[in-house]
Amino acid sequence: MSLLDEHRAYLIEMRQLAQDEQGRDVLAGLTVEETEFYLSEMDAPGASDRWLELDNRHQRAIAEMISAENEARQAGPKH
């Protein structure tokens, strides 16, 4: 996935971007191939079942990251 630095920074801030095992940018919760499909179909009229499944997985991954960050903040520093 090719991103401008400002787009990458925004997606990271919004908890939408992650990296796979090879250090490639992917949408959170998706593989490289799934990310490419998701982005290519994003503006297509009428969402396919596959796109909806990937969107659900992507949204769950974002929610899990935010939840983990909130739990870590509430736990505070370890002494």
pLDDT tens, 16-44?
Answer: 999 999 999 999 999 999 999 998 998 88
DSSP for 35-50, written as a single string: HHHHHHHTTSSS--HH
Burial 29-61, CB ≥16 within 10 A → b, else e = bbeeebbebbeebeeeeeeeeebeebbebbeeb
Structure tokens at 50: 């596959």
pLDDT tens, 50-66?
Answer: 999 999 999 999 999 99
The tally of domains found in the chain comes to 1
Residues 31 and 20: beta-carbon distance below 8 Å = yes
Domain that holds residue 49: 5-75
pTM above 0.85, yes or no: no
